[in-house]
A and B are shown apart, each in its own frame.
Chain A
Amino acid sequence: MNILAELLAYACLVSGAFFVIVGAIGVIRMPEFYTRLHAASVTETLGSILVIAGLVLLAGFSLVSVKLLMVLLFILFTSCTAVHALAKAAIHGGLMPETDDDD
């Protein structure tokens, strides 16, 4: 049981790290602002959920895991809001998303 939880935790941590790296590559490689924002939000949602889930499994049922879950809740609230604010500011600033229909 213990080894199973530990294996699951490491699987969560590795896949979370994978999504963080994918997000980082996406931020560099994506062509324009909104797609970059999309890549960054992958890091903030899937990456952070998996990493913190892995840490909770490692910490077991204790005060540390409760604190980690609170951190996760805070990240889920604030990062989505920050991305929303960025996208809204860009739209108001006159930056339109590039689409295939353009010119």
Chain B
Amino acid sequence: MEHHLILRVIAKLMIPLILVFALYVQFHGEYSPGGGFQAGVIFAAGFILYGLIYGLDKVRQVISPVTIRITAALGVLLYAGVGIAGLLLGGQFLEYNVLASDPVHGQHLGILLIELGVGTTVASVMIMFFYVFARP
């Protein structure tokens, strides 16, 4: 426990900031550089940092590999679901304009949901890579 005291303290400070920054990149991605992919990678980097410093067992307690698989699939499901919703509401596949009563709001809602799906899947797959490669 005494072994990497400085690393542990700094990681404890930094990991919440990394996760919040990932959410900022995710939801501010419409207006500034960023988006789902980058946010997912940053989000996963927080967990990978935790795993590198506190050990694989600890990070598996935080997010189990089964949960990771489920969330990875959920992101793709959300992406495809938005596309199908566009079809069902009378537009084309992934047409955002029909998602809300107002086309502008529809665009906002559509891109937000799509990016959320991308971010979820990318973060999950990144953490899954880490689990697979770090398996002893």
| Chain A contacts to B: CB under 8 angstroms | 74, 77-78, 81, 84-85, 88
Contacts and interface: CB of A to CB of B under 8 A. Distances in A.
16 contacts: A74-B14, A74-B17, A77-B10, A77-B13, A77-B14, A78-B10, A78-B14, A81-B6, A81-B7, A81-B10, A84-B6, A84-B7, A85-B4, A85-B6, A85-B7, A88-B4
Contacts, number: 16
A79 B4 CA distance: 16
Interface of B: 4, 6-7, 10, 13-14, 17
A78 to B, nearest CB: 7
A77 B14 CA distance: 9
A88 B2 CA distance: 13
A101 B104 CA distance: 74
Given A81-B10, A85-B4, 13 more contacts: A74-B14, A74-B17, A77-B10, A77-B13, A78-B10, A78-B14, A81-B6, A81-B7, A84-B6, A84-B7, A85-B6, A85-B7, A88-B4
Chain A binding site: helix, strand, loop or mixed by DSSP?
Answer: helix
Contacts of A77: 10, 13-14
Nearest to A85: B7
Contacts of B14: 74, 77-78
Contacts of B17: 74
Top 6 A-B pairs, shortest CB-CB distance:
A81-B10, A84-B6, A85-B7, A77-B10, A81-B6, A81-B7
Chain A CB count within 10 A is highest, among B4, B10, B13, B14, for B10
A74 B16 CA distance: 12
B24 to A, nearest CB: 10
Nearest to B6: A84
Nearest to B17: A74
A96 to B, nearest CB: 20
Contacts of B10: 77-78, 81
Contacts of B6: 81, 84-85
A96 B4 CA distance: 19
Contacts of A78: 10, 14
